[in-house]
Structure 1
């Protein structure tokens, strides 16, 4: 529902205008919202033969709506299809073109200026989020990559016996390498020593780095698991040292294994939406309930092996069970992160990415009315008092919209919001939701592609209404047409009201008395009325007004009578 003021802002911005073939009246009001995010265009002289009217309903900020009102008219004219007279295709091309520009650095800077957002947040006001935690974890991982295996074991394991055991194995490995190298001649001895030392060091470093990377990426799981996670880290470190002691032919495979584990750890450290999308379904299977079963089995095996006196096998089994437990925690954590890493729920917080606008644009050329719409603002034509919808509200739960959202990797929550965010499915901007690189712009979760309808105007078409959903959420299309039609009639004295005053009354009528409801009547409100013929000015009466005709006849009769008396008197004289 959003944040509301304690009292509504009912100050209205209004205007009237037109040309020889049409008239318009406009008004906008902030209402209960803490800011005004709507914008509009009223351009009766768009070019020599065309008029343009539009309403933009912004969300997440006013910047995208204001940017569109400033640049979309020229963007339409720039399209080759517009110059060729293909107005329907020109509107589609223009919507996609201006939407695409909002990803460029130049436009983003302009949007920042329009929005008045600070380029950098003060450090004291910054709140740690998931990105901050990932950065901290990456720094810790880098630090641990430079530590020795003994230091890493001390940090995570606190297992002095494991440290001593690892040190003893390492010393034995060095001694073995020295004795082997003495059997060769001087030249071979140097080459053999270099090769052996390199292999041992490569193996040790490869596995150590791999284990360190895995331990770093499992930092959160270790912290939650307490001592269990620490013991697992110590056991894994001991295993790495033992592998290094094999030396010789084991060096190459150890290095390769280290690289594989390091690569796995890097992937686990911070899964992105794109990487998650490419995973096989089995990769993200939750092992939440499997962990407890494996742990119980591990404890039983450990106990039975200790009774049999096979200590080494028990240690190995314990290490495997601990590793499986950590992998289970890691998999469940990945699943949680995947659930929260849906497209549209993360990304940069910048104008045009976390903000957008609906757009409904009408072009009138001769007798042709062409209306393009993206979002839930609406255009309605009155035909002898009957409402004719010229646009379709784009809502996420609608069949066509829902299919596109799911195909792009998104979902619609039970309250009708895309990934729990937007409650509309088409808009300009909102590039959080437009990051599927394998799909064209018109097939993204939130699409800027408009629906376009064309109507040939005739004498039965009285007027047209373009308004944001602040109006349509309160009144239906027919109710708005009825409201306006009644007030466009001349009053008892034959006077007619300016169109903008009718819009003002409409806004007041739709305004909620308070914010205790479901939000209906609490939104920004913008509305334009356009008549398809000149609308008399407020000081004019309708030419076919019966009262006016009768008054004129009486005045003419009196005047003719007086003129007759005057002429008779002049004749007598």
Structure 2
């Protein structure tokens, strides 16, 4: 059956949590796939005023998704831009930083530890041999110091993952996306996409792919990858004359900044295993229906999986499934955009762009 199992794995890994401003539930399920390649991150208290949620959908392996789940939010926190209040730039830099960190001896070692049992053992051994010693005066764990070793020239993983991140600070929601995982907000029962699926046939993606020396065949980049943006996939990022954002495949995320309003009920972040089976509005309607009788948000996510799971292997409903549901505890009031920047809202699919970032006010 190739990449599919004879019977699906329907066991679900779920979690619930909350803080003063929101409640969240999440779940993941392997389904019909032979392996589980999704990962996620949920930090309702990233700092005193900020919550962080992310879904990472791996392809060609699980390690890049797991790497992002472990490190991406940490890189957001560490940046000077984050400290200055520019969350959009900090998360954009964190996406690019993932590709940088996965190179070289240290990157190879970290990915190995996150991989299968054989690679994990090898990575741990190489860590003992090659990693900088704590006695080194200039070494700090968080510096991601350069390591000598047999994999010092490692160019990065050939596998990759999508990344869709939602960061909530006070009345502002920042969404960063690379790939075809998706963030949707429900406002007075209406679904609005806060991310765009980065498929190769989109004009802006196609133009970059061709300029970088790639091609599109059967809807796939170089006849292989059905995504135009992703973290990892370094075989598509080898043009030394182009910056990271102009490579055949780029980790550069689209960024939306949304001012939350009284009618905002919840957001959903989910991998394409969900969106292959349900439209954004169908999912929002389904969640509303479930919330009439269910208060545990992870249980709502689990019911979505049961709704999407295919009866037999092959086609829609056979992918790994991961979903995070974040419900706002109380209405929030509209506020002026940060830093005095103007914002405007246009319906999904007709959003203006400035330097790859979007600023939206979804109040009306």
State the Cα RMSD in Å.
1.7
Tell me the matched-pair count: 297
Q: Quick one: distance in 1 between partners of 2:16 and 2:184? A: 19
* Alignment match of 2:309 (pick from 495, 501, 511): 511
SS in 2 for 1:115: coil
Q: Quick one: distance in 1 between partners of 2:272 and 2:324? A: 13
- Residue segments in structure 2 that go unaligned for 5+ positions in a row: 120-153, 332-364
Match of 1:447 in 2: 250
SS in 1 for 2:114: helix
Q: Quick one: distance in 1 between partners of 2:110 and 2:116? A: 10
Residue 116 of structure 1, CA deviation? 2.2
Match of 1:362 in 2: 166
Contact 2:167-2:173 at 8 Å conserved across structures: yes
* Alignment match of 1:407 (pick from 211, 219, 231): 211
- Residue segments in structure 1 that go unaligned for 5+ positions in a row: 120-349, 536-573
Q: Quick one: distance in 2 between partners of 1:41 and 1:445? A: 27
Match of 2:323 in 1: 527
Is it true that 1:374 corresponds to 2:170 in the alignment? no
Residue 26 of structure 1, CA deviation? 0.6
Match of 1:465 in 2: 268
Match of 1:480 in 2: 283
- CA deviations 1:338-365 (Å, max 9, x no partner) are xxxxxxxxxxxx8942211100011100
Match of 1:428 in 2: 231
Match of 2:297 in 1: 499
Residue 118 of structure 1, CA deviation? 4.7
Residue 51 of structure 1, CA deviation? 0.3
Contact 1:36-1:62 at 8 Å conserved across structures: yes
Residue 378 of structure 1, CA deviation? 0.2
Match of 1:46 in 2: 46
Contact 2:104-2:155 at 8 Å conserved across structures: no
Match of 2:352 in 1: none
Is it true that 1:385 corresponds to 2:189 in the alignment? yes
Residue 497 of structure 1, CA deviation? 2.9
Distance 1:434 1:58, change over 3 A: same
Contact 2:103-2:155 at 8 Å conserved across structures: no
Match of 1:36 in 2: 36
Distance 1:104 1:351, change over 3 A: closer
Match of 2:73 in 1: 73
Contact 1:19-1:534 at 8 Å conserved across structures: no
Q: Quick one: distance in 1 between partners of 2:62 and 2:28? A: 14
- CA deviations 1:361-396 (Å, max 9, x no partner) are 111000000000000000000000000111000001
Q: Quick one: distance in 1 between partners of 2:327 and 2:202? A: 32
- CA deviations 1:436-488 (Å, max 9, x no partner) are 11000000011000000011111100100000000001100000000001111
Contact 1:362-1:372 at 8 Å conserved across structures: yes
More helix by share: 1
- 1:326-341 aligned at under 5 Å gives the runs none
Contact 1:111-1:352 at 8 Å conserved across structures: no
SS in 2 for 1:81: helix
- CA deviations 1:237-279 (Å, max 9, x no partner) are xxxxxxxxxxxxxxxxxxxxxxxxxxxxxxxxxxxxxxxxxxx
Distance 1:534 1:70, change over 3 A: farther
- 1:169-248 aligned at under 5 Å gives the runs none
SS in 1 for 2:238: coil
Residue 113 of structure 1, CA deviation? 2.3
- CA deviations 1:481-508 (Å, max 9, x no partner) are 000011112x4xxxx4311111100001
Contact 1:359-1:373 at 8 Å conserved across structures: yes
Q: Quick one: distance in 1 between partners of 2:116 and 2:28? A: 22
Contact 1:63-1:351 at 8 Å conserved across structures: no
Q: Quick one: distance in 1 between partners of 2:177 and 2:156? A: 19
Residue 6 of structure 1, CA deviation? 0.4
Q: Quick one: distance in 2 between partners of 1:9 and 1:406? A: 40
- 1:7-156 aligned at under 5 Å gives the runs 7-116=7-116, 118=118
Match of 1:234 in 2: none
